[in-house]
Structure 1
Amino acid sequence: MKYILGFFTIIALAVLGWLLYLYSTIRFEIDKVVDYKPRLTTQFFDKNGKLIANTFSKENRLYVKYENIPPRVIEALVAIEDTQFFEHNGINPDAISRAIIKDIKAGSLVEGASTLTQQLIKTLILSREKKLTRKIKEALLALRLETILSKEEILERYLNQVYFGHGYYGIKTAALGYFKKNLYELNLKEIAMLVGLPRAPSFYDPTRNLNFALARGNQVIKRMNTLGWINKKEYEESMKYVPKVYDQTLTQNKAPYVIDYVTKILSEDIKDLKTGGYKIDLTVDLDAQKIAKEGLDLAYKKILKRDDYFQKLNKKRGIEKEYDENGKELDPDRFIKTLNGALISIESNSGKILSLVGGIDYTKSNFNRVIQSKRQPGSAFKPFIYLTALDLGYSPASQLTDISRTYEYEAKDSDEKKKWQPKNYSGKYKGLMPLREALVHSRNLATINLVTDIGIDVVYNNLQRFGFSDNMPYNLSITLGSFAISPIDLSEEYSIISNDGIKVKPYIINSITNRNGSIINFEPQSKVITDENQAFLMKDILHDAVKRGTGRIAQVKNIDIAGKTGTTNKNVDAWFCGFSPTIQTIVWFGNDDNKPMRKTETGGRAAGPAFAYFYKNYLKIHPELKREFDVPSGVKSAIINGKKEYYTNTSKLPIDALNVPKENQIEF
C-alpha cells in the first residue's frame, strides 16, 4: 500500500511539475488579455454627426465599454454560452465532466467545455485546434485570468473581441452592421441572433443564411425561457419576430473623395489611423455632398447631350468625322472617356469645407481633381486684377479702353520677334466702357489695357499679396489666367471677396478624438487682405455678372449670387466661381487629357448648371440661409445715368463719370 501511495504521489508530483512547466511557458501570454488593446476602426462623421465612412486594417471593430452593454445582452450570452459564468473561477468542472464522457464515447475530442473566460483566452492567445495540451493551457490561463480581472472586465473583452461574421468584430460593430442599431436599440430577437453568432459566425451570418440565424436566435430565446430569465409574452413575441437585416459594405463610404483627402492629410502624423479607433468629425455636410454630386452629374450629362446633338447634326450635314486644328481625326467618344468635373463648397467666413467632389465617378477614377488637379483659371482670375485696380483707387465707374492692341515679344528659345494680338470672346470692341461693365461681360481687351495702365509689376506684386503663387507668368498673358491652380487653392483666393477682404484657408477636419477620449480641435486660419469696403465693390460687380453678365445661368431665385465664369483658350477649361452671402462654391469642367472641349462649353454653360443646382437644392433643406449681401457702412452710392453706383473713400467716383450736376447727385 505504501508503494502504491508513493507511486501515485510521484505521478501527482510529476503532473504538477508538468503543469507548472506548461504554465511557465505561457504565463506572460496573459498580458495580451489583461492589457487589451485590440485593433479598432476609425470612423469619420459629418458636421451633423452622420457616419461618412469607416476605415480599418484587417478587423472592423467598434469598441463598447461594459457599462454601455445592455443587461439583456449579458443575460442572453451567459444563457447560451456559460450559464454558471458568474459562479465559476474560470473553468466549469460540471461541463468538463459532461464533455469528457461524450468524448470517451466518441473516441475523440468532439465537445468542449469552454467557459467564456476560456473562449476569450482561446481567441486572443491560443489556437482553436482540439488538442489536450491546448485545452490544459487554456484552463490554466483561465484560472489565472479570473484572479486578475473581474467578471465584467472579462465580458467586456469577450464581447469586443469575438468575430460575429460578415467582417464584424465586436458586438457593437455587428449591431450597427446587421441591424443599423445601437446596442440599446436592439430587441430580444436581435440580441439573441447576435450572441448566437460566435459559435459559427460564417454559417449563422444572417446576410447569407437568415433561416439558420433565426433558428440559432430561437435557441438562445428558448434557453433564456427555460432558465426563467424572460416571461411568456417576451418568449412568444421574440420567437415570431423576424428582424430586417442589412447587407452593408464594411467601409460604408458615402464620400470617397472626402475620405481619401482626409486620410492623406492625417496619415503622415497618425501612423495607426486604421487601427487606432479614432473618431474624426469633419466639416462636411453629407446633404451638401449629395447635392453637389447630383449637380456635377447634371452638368456632366448636359455637356454629353450637347456633344451628342452636334455629332448628329454633323452627320445630317454629311460630316462623318471631326478633326482637330492639326488635322488629326477626333475620337467621337472622347468626351465620354476623358470629360470630368470637380466641385468644392466652403463656408465663406470660416473656410469649412461643406462638400468636396473630386470627379464624376470615383469607381472609374479616384484622382481628386479638387485637390490634385492644377488647371488654368482663365477669366475666373480676372476679379483679382480688378480688385487690385480698386485697391489702387479705381472705382466701378472708372473708364477702361476696350480696344485691340498688338504686342511684340521675343520667342522663348530664339531671337525671333513674334506678335500677340488678343481678342474678346465675341470678337467685338466697345471702346471706352466702365470698369464694372468690363468685368461683368468679361472683356479681355479692357482687362489687358487695365493691366498695361497699372503696370505688370504692380499687378504681379498685388497678386502675390493676395496669395497667388510664383508660377504666374510675369507678362500680360497673366490677365487671361494662363497659369495653373487647383480648385481648392482658387477657392481660398475667392474667399477674399466672399468673406469681405479676409482670406480663409479651406479645411475639412473639425476635431479628432482618440480611444482614450482626448480631443484635438481645429480652428479656422484667416488673414486680412483688403478692406471690407473694397471687397464689397468687387462682390457687387460679380453680383451684376450673375444678374446680367456672363454668369446669368448660375442665378438662383430668392438669394443673392455673385460669381465669375472662366473659359480658357480653346475651351480647355470651364469654371464657375461664385458665392451667396454665406457659402462659396467653385466648379470646374474639362478633359483629363487637357484636350479642348467644344466651343459651346464656356464656363457659364458647362459649370454654371452645377453651381445653380447646388444652391437651389441646398436652399430647400436650409431655408434659414442668409439671402442678401450686406452693404458695409463705409460704402456709399450715387446715381449715375439713372443707375446706382457704389464707391468708397479709396475708390472714389471719377468726376467725368457724373453726367448730372453735383448738387443733383443722390447719395444713399
Structure 2
Amino acid sequence: MKYILWIFFAGALALGGGFVYIYSQVRFDAYSIIDYKPKLTTQIFDRNNELIANIFEENRVYVKYEEIPSRVVEALVAIEDTSYFEHGGINYEAIVRAVIKDIKAGRFVEGASTLTQQLVKNLALSSEKKITRKIKEIVLAIKLETELDKEQIIERYLNHVYFGHGYYGIKTAADGYFRKDLKELSIKEIAMLVGLPKAPSSYDPTKHLDLSLGRANRVLERMYTIGWLNEEEYRKGILEEPAVFDDTLSKNKAPYVVDEIIKEVSKRVDDIRTGGYKIYSTVDLNVQKMANEALIYGYNEILKRDKKANANILNGAIVVTQPQTGHILALVGGVDYSKSSYNRATQSARQPGSSFKPFIYQIALDEGYSVVSQLADIARSFDMGNGKEWTPKNYSGGFQGYISLKSALTQSRNLATINLLNDLGLSSVRAKLSNIGFQNIPENLSIALGSFGISPVNFAKFYSMFPNEGEIVEPILIKYVENSFGAVVNYEAKKEQVLKPEQAFLMIDLLKNVVNNGTGRNAKINGIQVAGKTGTTNNNIDAWFCGFTPDVQAIIWYGNDDNSPMKKIEGGGRTAAPVFKKFMETYIKQYPTVRRVFEQPEGVYKGIYNGVDELYTNDSPLPEIIPANEIIQEQENNGLMF
C-alpha cells in the first residue's frame, strides 16, 4: 500500500511538473487570447452612412457579445459544444470517448475539442495532430477559463474564426453572404453560418450551396433534438433556402474616392488596413453615380464625333462639391477604374485654358473696373524675350475693337483678356494670384489663357470663391474618423476670405451671362440659375467646364492622357458643358429642394448704362454717362464738328 501511495504521489508530482513546464512554454500565448487584439476591417461610409468600401488585411468587423443574438449562441453551442456552459474548458467524457475511438482505429479519427479549445487552436496553436500540441491546447483552455468568462470566450470565438469566402468573424460573414445584420438573420441563415467553421471551403454557400444547406439542417436537427427549437421553427428552418450573395470583399463602390481617402487617413495612422476605423466621408454615393454616368456620357459623345479617337487614351474627370462647406459630393478620376487607377481629378496637372479667365477679370473688378469697362479686342504682338514674339489670336478668329468687360468674358475673347492683363500689370496680377494660392504661374502674359497646370480638385478650391461670397474653401473628402475605441477625429475644410461678397457676386452675374448668352450655352438648365466658364487649350488638348449653381459646383475636364490634341471641334462649350447640364438635371430631380437662385449680398446695386440694366458696387462703379447734348457741345468746342 505504501508503494502504491508513493507511485501515485510520484505520478501526480510528475503530472504537475509537466503541467507547469508546458504552461511555462505557452503562457504568453494565453495572454494573446486574453488581451485579444484582432486585425479589423476599416470601413468607409458615405454622407448617408451607406458603405462605400471595406479596407483590410483580414476582413473582420467586430461584434460585441451583447450584440450577438441568443439564437446564434444557441446554434453554435448546439452543434459544437453542447455542455459549453457546464465545463471548465475541457470535456473529459468527450476526451475519453475520442481516445477509445482513436485507439480502435489506430489513428486520430475524432477530436473532443470544446469551443474554448477551438479558440486556442485558432488563435495560438497550429492544427497539427500531435499529443504535445493537444496537451498545450488543454493547458491553455484551462487557463483561459480561469481568466475569462464564458461570454468573453464566445465573443472571441465568433469574431476570430474563419467563415470562408474571405470572411473573418460572424458579423462579417452575415453581411457578406446575406447582406444582413446579425439581428436580421433567419434561423436557417444562422445555422448556415455556425456550420461553416468546421470546413469553411467545403461549406461556402457561394460555391457549395447544397453542402452548406445540408450542414445547416444538421445544426437545426441538433437544436430540435435538445429542445432549443420547437417543431414549427424546425420545420420552417428545414424548408428555407436563403438568398446567398457572392459579393466582392471590399464592396468598393467608388474606387477613385477610396484611394484618396486611404492616402489622406494614412497621413495620421499607420494601421488603416488593420485598425478597424470607421471613416465617414463627405461623398454621396447617389451623386457619385450621377457624376460617373455623366462623365461616361461625355466620353461616349466624343467617340461618336471622332471615329479616329483613341478610346484607350481619351479620358476625363469630374469633381462635384458643395462650395460653401468644401464637401466633395462626387469625385471621378477617370472613365474606367479597372483600366486605369490613375486619378485625373487629383493627380493630373492640365492647363485650364479660358476657364482661368474669371480670375483675371475678378482682379480687374477689384481694381476698379466695371462690367462695362472697355477692353481692347485688337491684335498685338508681345516681346517674349530672346528675340521671340508672341502674337495671340481669338479662338473664333478676328477682333472686335473695343468691347465691354462683360462681353469679353461672355465671348471668351483671348485678345481682350491679354490686353486687360497687360494693362493691369503682369507682376501685379501674378502677385495677387499667388496671394490667393495659385502656384506655378508663368512669368508671361500667356497666363491670361491659363497656360499652367492644375488638377480639377484644386481648381474646384479656387472656383469656390465665386459661389461662396468670396471665401475660398478647400475641398475635403472626410468628415470624421472613428477608431475601434470610439474616439473621433474631425476633419475641417480650410477657409480663407479673399474677396468681398459683393465683388464675388459681380463675377457670378458675369458667369451667368456666359451660360445664358455665351460660350457656356450648352450648360443652361431651365428652372435654375447656372454660372460657369468654358475652357479650351491650344490645339484642343484640354476641354473644361467649371460651373456652379447656388448649392453645387462641378469641375469637368476631358482630354487625352498623352496630351495629344483632340479633334478640332472638341472644346469646353461642346465637350464639357453638356456634361454639366446632364449631371445637374439628374441632380435636381434627385434633390428638388436645392436652391435655384443666387442670393444677392448687400453692396450690389443696379444701374442703367446705355439703356441696359447693369450691376455695380462701390469698388466697381459704373461710369457716368454724359448726356448726348453735352457730348455735342464738347465736340463743337473742340472744333470736331463739321
Which bin holds the TM-score, normalised by the shorter protein?
over 0.9
Deviation at 1:230, TM superposition (A): 1.4
Equivalent residue number for residue 427 of structure 1: 397
Equivalent residue number for residue 319 of structure 2: 344
Runs of 4+ that moved beyond 6 A: 657-661
- CA 657–630 in structure 1, closer or farther in 2 if over 3 Å, else same: farther
- 2:434 matched to 1:452? no
Count of residue pairs the alignment pairs up = 630
Deviation at 1:125, TM superposition (A): 0.5
- CA 196–3 in structure 1, closer or farther in 2 if over 3 Å, else same: same
- Secondary structure in 2 matching 1:335: coil
- 2:595 matched to 1:596? no
Equivalent residue number for residue 388 of structure 2: 418
After the TM superposition, which residues 224-623 of structure 1 pair with which residues of structure 2 at under 5 Å, given as runs?
A: 224-308=223-307, 332=308, 335-411=310-386, 417-469=387-439, 471-623=440-592
- CA 569–658 in structure 1, closer or farther in 2 if over 3 Å, else same: farther
**Alpha-carbon distance in 2 for matches of 1:571, 1:589:** 10
Equivalent residue number for residue 638 of structure 2: none
Letter in 2 for 1:523: E
Residues 641 and 659 of structure 1 are in contact (CA less than 8 Å); yes or no, is this contact kept in structure 2?
no
Residues 383 and 439 of structure 1 are in contact (CA less than 8 Å); yes or no, is this contact kept in structure 2?
yes
**Alpha-carbon distance in 1 for matches of 2:28, 2:442:** 67
- Secondary structure in 2 matching 1:169: coil
- Secondary structure in 2 matching 1:247: coil
Residues 399 and 432 of structure 1 are in contact (CA less than 8 Å); yes or no, is this contact kept in structure 2?
yes
**Alpha-carbon distance in 2 for matches of 1:557, 1:180:** 41
After the TM superposition, which residues 20-59 of structure 1 pair with which residues of structure 2 at under 5 Å, given as runs?
A: 20-57=20-57, 59=58
Residues 276 and 514 of structure 1 are in contact (CA less than 8 Å); yes or no, is this contact kept in structure 2?
yes
Residues 347 and 353 of structure 1 are in contact (CA less than 8 Å); yes or no, is this contact kept in structure 2?
yes
Equivalent residue number for residue 78 of structure 2: 79
Deviation at 1:657, TM superposition (A): 8.7
After the TM superposition, which residues 191-202 of structure 1 pair with which residues of structure 2 at under 5 Å, given as runs?
A: 191-202=190-201
- Secondary structure in 1 matching 2:133: helix
TM-score (norm 1): 0.92
**Alpha-carbon distance in 2 for matches of 1:631, 1:19:** 83
Residues 385 and 459 of structure 1 are in contact (CA less than 8 Å); yes or no, is this contact kept in structure 2?
yes
Q: Deviations over 1:40-61 (max 9, x none)?
A: 000000000000000011x110
**Alpha-carbon distance in 2 for matches of 1:439, 1:67:** 64
**Alpha-carbon distance in 2 for matches of 1:487, 1:210:** 48
**Alpha-carbon distance in 1 for matches of 2:550, 2:390:** 40
**Alpha-carbon distance in 2 for matches of 1:441, 1:376:** 19
- CA 76–660 in structure 1, closer or farther in 2 if over 3 Å, else same: farther
**Alpha-carbon distance in 2 for matches of 1:69, 1:515:** 18
Letter in 1 for 2:29: E
Q: Deviations over 1:599-657 (max 9, x none)?
A: 11101111112211211111111111111111112111123344321101111011249
Residues 530 and 547 of structure 2 are in contact (CA less than 8 Å); yes or no, is this contact kept in structure 1?
yes
Residues 59 and 168 of structure 2 are in contact (CA less than 8 Å); yes or no, is this contact kept in structure 1?
yes
Residues 343 and 588 of structure 1 are in contact (CA less than 8 Å); yes or no, is this contact kept in structure 2?
yes
TM-score (norm 2): 0.96
- CA 658–368 in structure 1, closer or farther in 2 if over 3 Å, else same: farther
- Secondary structure in 2 matching 1:197: coil
- Secondary structure in 2 matching 1:141: helix
**Alpha-carbon distance in 1 for matches of 2:606, 2:20:** 94
**Alpha-carbon distance in 2 for matches of 1:519, 1:660:** 72
After the TM superposition, which residues 61-72 of structure 1 pair with which residues of structure 2 at under 5 Å, given as runs?
A: 61-72=60-71
Deviation at 1:5, TM superposition (A): 4.3
Residues 398 and 657 of structure 1 are in contact (CA less than 8 Å); yes or no, is this contact kept in structure 2?
no
- Secondary structure in 2 matching 1:365: coil
Deviation at 1:567, TM superposition (A): 0.3
Q: Deviations over 1:270-315 (max 9, x none)?
A: 111100000000001101111111000000000011001xxxxxxx
Equivalent residue number for residue 116 of structure 1: 115
**Structure 1 residue ranges without an equivalent (≥5):** 309-331, 412-416, 662-668
Deviation at 1:8, TM superposition (A): 4.2
Q: Deviations over 1:179-206 (max 9, x none)?
A: 0000011110000100010000110000
**Alpha-carbon distance in 2 for matches of 1:527, 1:465:** 11
- Secondary structure in 1 matching 2:466: helix
- Secondary structure in 1 matching 2:147: coil
**Alpha-carbon distance in 2 for matches of 1:86, 1:587:** 62
- Secondary structure in 1 matching 2:26: helix
**Structure 2 residue ranges without an equivalent (≥5):** 631-642
Deviation at 1:659, TM superposition (A): 7.9
After the TM superposition, which residues 129-278 of structure 1 pair with which residues of structure 2 at under 5 Å, given as runs?
A: 129-278=128-277
- Secondary structure in 2 matching 1:498: coil
Letter in 1 for 2:152: E
**Alpha-carbon distance in 2 for matches of 1:222, 1:580:** 62
**Alpha-carbon distance in 1 for matches of 2:625, 2:453:** 39
- CA 130–659 in structure 1, closer or farther in 2 if over 3 Å, else same: farther
Q: Deviations over 1:370-423 (max 9, x none)?
A: 111001111010000000000011111111111111223323xxxxx2221111
Residues 609 and 625 of structure 2 are in contact (CA less than 8 Å); yes or no, is this contact kept in structure 1?
no
- Secondary structure in 1 matching 2:503: helix
Indicate the percent of aligned positions where both proteins have the same amino acid: 56
**Alpha-carbon distance in 2 for matches of 1:65, 1:34:** 15
| Alignment RMSD (CA, Å) | 1.4
**Alpha-carbon distance in 1 for matches of 2:163, 2:227:** 27
Letter in 1 for 2:70: P
**Alpha-carbon distance in 1 for matches of 2:185, 2:11:** 53
Q: Deviations over 1:455-498 (max 9, x none)?
A: 112222221222211x1112211111111111111111101112
Residues 640 and 658 of structure 1 are in contact (CA less than 8 Å); yes or no, is this contact kept in structure 2?
no
Deviation at 1:3, TM superposition (A): 3.4
**Alpha-carbon distance in 2 for matches of 1:213, 1:637:** 75
Equivalent residue number for residue 16 of structure 2: 16
Deviation at 1:152, TM superposition (A): 0.5
**Alpha-carbon distance in 2 for matches of 1:605, 1:508:** 30
**Alpha-carbon distance in 1 for matches of 2:363, 2:421:** 10
